Structure 1
Amino acid sequence: MQAFPRSTTETTTAVVVPPSLALPVIESGFPRRLHPYWPRLQEKTRLWLLEKRLMPEDKVREFADDLRYTDLMAGYYTDARDEVLQAIADYSAWFFVWDDRHDRDIVHARTGDWRRLRHRLHAALDAPRHHLHHPDPLVAGFADSVLRLYGFLPSTWNQRFARHFHTVIEAYDREFRNRTQGYVPGVDEYLALRRLTFAHWIWTDLLEPSAGCELPDVIRRNPSYRRAALLSQEFAAWYNDLCSLPKEIAGDEVHNLGISLITYEGLTLEAAVDNIRRRVETCIDEFIAAEREVLRFADALADGTVRGKELSTAVRTCVGNMRNWFSSVYWFHHESGRYMVDSWADRSTPPYVTNEAAGAK
């Protein structure tokens, strides 16, 4: 099945989804949308990666477009203004590069490097302007992307974003320690940690600048809104685990729902895959029900006032983009070179990372 009505590459190719990963309800019930700014987005994020020295020039030239990081964001925040989407896409590309650095620091036992990076990211999050010219490109790139994100909504949103990302950094530290010690977290422990390492609330926060409106606490904490947001992110995290399980087993990983199920519940690989798949399908069903509740909630917000109409429209935009996340995540995993481990020379080492890019001295 072809994911987009128009291809994002120069040639049109059908995307073949393996039967064990195919979700017909996504393919038929969650039409994929693509922000019209996408072609410029891809070009400008590629240039940003080069300008900020986040990937070597040869790696950017060979892999950046095929990794499809911009496709993922352009298929999610489809109602964002161009400059908002660009800032989110650059931040997302940075996040993937950071994830790769974290992985390489673990693989090469660079505990000191990781500890320094962790503290520098905390500092850059609180004072991005002071870290724009940091000698570590990962810190400087982070400061640049965060500073741009901080420019769209009031300081209260910035403070919430920072608070949420501080917890993400600390969750990455917990994963670092788990992996270096060979510790496989139990299923419940893993699920709680995964919400942080996947940055559930960061991507949910970014719905608001995309809608052009900071949502008050009473809306964000509304049970139906919060549930729909959580389900969209749980789907993404668990589907990622499902698709990346072969890569992570090859790399002696300990952080994957499938690995926790195999370790603590005695499941075979096939049974673990079936278990994750059922969880993913349940997320979809429950999201559809939660989505209906959020839309009713949005209708109730339209109380005849200007503010009521603004909030109602923003909530509708946010939940519409939550829906986009399902199709964008689904197709990303079957189009991005990040998950095509069978084509790698070494199934445990992504070809788009190098020790230099990963922070080696």
Structure 2
Amino acid sequence: MNTQTLSPLFRLAELVHYKLLSLFPRSHIPQTVKPSAHPDLRGDASTLAAQLDGKTFRLPDLWKVFAGWPLAANKHAQRLEGLVDSMLERIITNEKKLKALKKADFGRLMSLWYPDAEWPELEVATAYSVWIFVWDDEVDAGDTDVSNDEELARAYYQKSLRTVHCLLGLDEGSDDAAAAERIAQEEQSLHPNMALFADVGRGLRGATDRIQRERFYRELENFMISVGVEHGHRMRGEIPSVDKYLHIRSGSVGCAPQIALTDHMLGIRLPESIMECGPMKELWKETVVMCLILNDVYSCQKEIAQASLFNLVPVMYHNCSPAKQTLDTVTRDVEASLRESMRGFEEAAKALGEMVSDDAKVSRDVQAFIKWCRYFITGVLQWSLESKRYGMAECRHQDGSLSIVL
């Protein structure tokens, strides 16, 4: 499948649709329950859940796909574990949820994502990553008012975006003398889930330029809008085509804002002509696609258990032709999609290298950026297999393959 075939007009239509929903909220959607293992589901999602219930999704050892890519851990790995726990304790009051989030071991993920980063940058990146996991869970987990009401969810996204814009120092007049006071007032009135983003804003305002923060904000805005579109599909029990799913999920997976922090984390500043060129955009796109594929296949058991069928595995199964509708078909398609995306990544990396070959410093920085994207993917892969958040350790065989009971 090739996500490049999706028209920019389709994305514009999605954005306009979401903005209109914000102005003209839908009436309450009645729940139509079909007999299934998940009585909270409706529509196609209910039927699909019944079809998948108890089936086994088998995956090969996907490390073989990424065998040549680097994996390393940061020297501050143990310190990161304590930092993550303290951040979670600041914003999570539900003891059961706090315990589950601590078991996820986000500190390990930070260590794998940023093996070469120093502590000041790690503090900012960790605050952002913990924040976005908690923020996203508020909508996805199915156990909050926001996750079960489209109007509450839209209000949550809109308020969050206004807060993010302010804390990044992007509001009109943010460079004047009163800007610090306005930001301080915003910090004092934060929703608990947004408290960590104040740390992110402080770190980025002092260490990045406005263009970098604007790019980060645009990616966060796209993330939140995509989460809204995804949430609407989930609430209505709609299962899209695979291409449309990948388009929505590329935004809602939340990887692009993380990539937007890369030059800051590496202590480099690539020219805007490089940051905005075609090969760099292609590198981002394929990094996001590989991340979402890995995230979805390892989280599918958890998400289905939480009555969420908006996941690549169920979506691919739903869109199989009747004659080939098996989870083994999905397994083959997943591996083929990963390999196709990797080919696109390598082509983009090669093109970027050729573009800057006559400038030693920019070439060195570009190669560092590309290497970090590889760390990002292998970090997702390794952490997803280890983390108790997904429970893949119990599904794994000695040869590295997995049998995941849905």
TM band (smaller chain): 0.7 to 0.9
Q: For the Cα contact (< 8 Å) 1:212–1:314, is it kept in 2?
A: no
The 5-angstrom pairing of residues 343-358 of structure 1 reads none
Aligned equivalents of 2:335, 2:211: Cα separation in 1: 38
The 5-angstrom pairing of residues 115-134 of structure 1 reads 115-128=154-167, 129=183, 130-134=185-189
User: Where in structure 2 are there 5+ consecutive unaligned residues?
Assistant: 1-56, 168-182, 395-406
Aligned counterpart, 2:110: 73
Over 3 Å counting, the alpha-carbon distance change for 1:242 and 1:188 in structure 2 is same
Over 3 Å counting, the alpha-carbon distance change for 1:86 and 1:55 in structure 2 is farther
Q: For the Cα contact (< 8 Å) 1:70–1:93, is it kept in 2?
A: no
- Deviations 1:292-340, CA, capped at 9 Å, x for gaps: 44334443332xxxxxx2x333212111101112221111111111111
Aligned equivalents of 1:33, 1:342: Cα separation in 2: 20
Say yes or no: does 1:330 pair with 2:385. no
Aligned equivalents of 1:21, 1:150: Cα separation in 2: 44
Aligned equivalents of 2:393, 2:70: Cα separation in 1: 28
| Aligned-pair CA distance for 1:127 | 0.9
Give the number of aligned pairs.
317
Say yes or no: does 1:54 pair with 2:105. no
Q: For the Cα contact (< 8 Å) 2:287–2:373, is it kept in 1?
A: yes
The 5-angstrom pairing of residues 147-158 of structure 1 reads 147-158=202-213
Aligned counterpart, 1:164: 219
| Aligned-pair CA distance for 1:102 | 0.5
| Aligned-pair CA distance for 1:124 | 0.6
Over 3 Å counting, the alpha-carbon distance change for 1:339 and 1:211 in structure 2 is same
Aligned equivalents of 2:392, 2:149: Cα separation in 1: 24
Over 3 Å counting, the alpha-carbon distance change for 1:79 and 1:225 in structure 2 is farther
Higher mean Cα deviation, 284-293 or 159-168?
284-293
Aligned counterpart, 1:40: 79
| Aligned-pair CA distance for 1:58 | 6.3
Q: For the Cα contact (< 8 Å) 1:131–1:140, is it kept in 2?
A: no
Aligned counterpart, 2:148: 109
Aligned equivalents of 1:337, 1:226: Cα separation in 2: 33
Aligned counterpart, 1:339: 390
Aligned counterpart, 1:5: none
Q: For the Cα contact (< 8 Å) 1:134–1:140, is it kept in 2?
A: no
Aligned counterpart, 2:326: 268
Q: Percent sequence identity over matched residues? A: 23
| Aligned-pair CA distance for 1:203 | 1.9
Q: Give the TM-score of the pair, scaled to structure 2.
A: 0.71
Q: For the Cα contact (< 8 Å) 1:167–1:196, is it kept in 2?
A: yes
Aligned equivalents of 1:125, 1:277: Cα separation in 2: 37
- Deviations 1:124-183, CA, capped at 9 Å, x for gaps: 111123432335201223333233233321011111211221121111111111111111
| Aligned-pair CA distance for 1:207 | 0.8
The 5-angstrom pairing of residues 269-348 of structure 1 reads 269-302=327-360, 309=361, 311-340=362-391
Q: For the Cα contact (< 8 Å) 1:133–1:140, is it kept in 2?
A: no
Over 3 Å counting, the alpha-carbon distance change for 1:154 and 1:107 in structure 2 is closer
Q: Give the TM-score of the pair, scaled to structure 1.
A: 0.79
| Aligned-pair CA distance for 1:89 | 1.2
Letter in 2 for 1:43: G
The 5-angstrom pairing of residues 142-291 of structure 1 reads 142-266=197-321, 267-291=325-349
User: Where in structure 1 are there 5+ consecutive unaligned residues?
Assistant: 1-17, 303-308, 344-361
Aligned equivalents of 1:36, 1:244: Cα separation in 2: 28
| Aligned-pair CA distance for 1:19 | 6.7
- Deviations 1:257-290, CA, capped at 9 Å, x for gaps: 2222222333322212221122113323443444
- Deviations 1:47-87, CA, capped at 9 Å, x for gaps: 12223x23545654x44453121222221233333211221
Letter in 2 for 1:216: P
Q: For the Cα contact (< 8 Å) 2:219–2:256, is it kept in 1?
A: yes
Letter in 1 for 2:159: R
Say yes or no: does 1:25 pair with 2:61. no
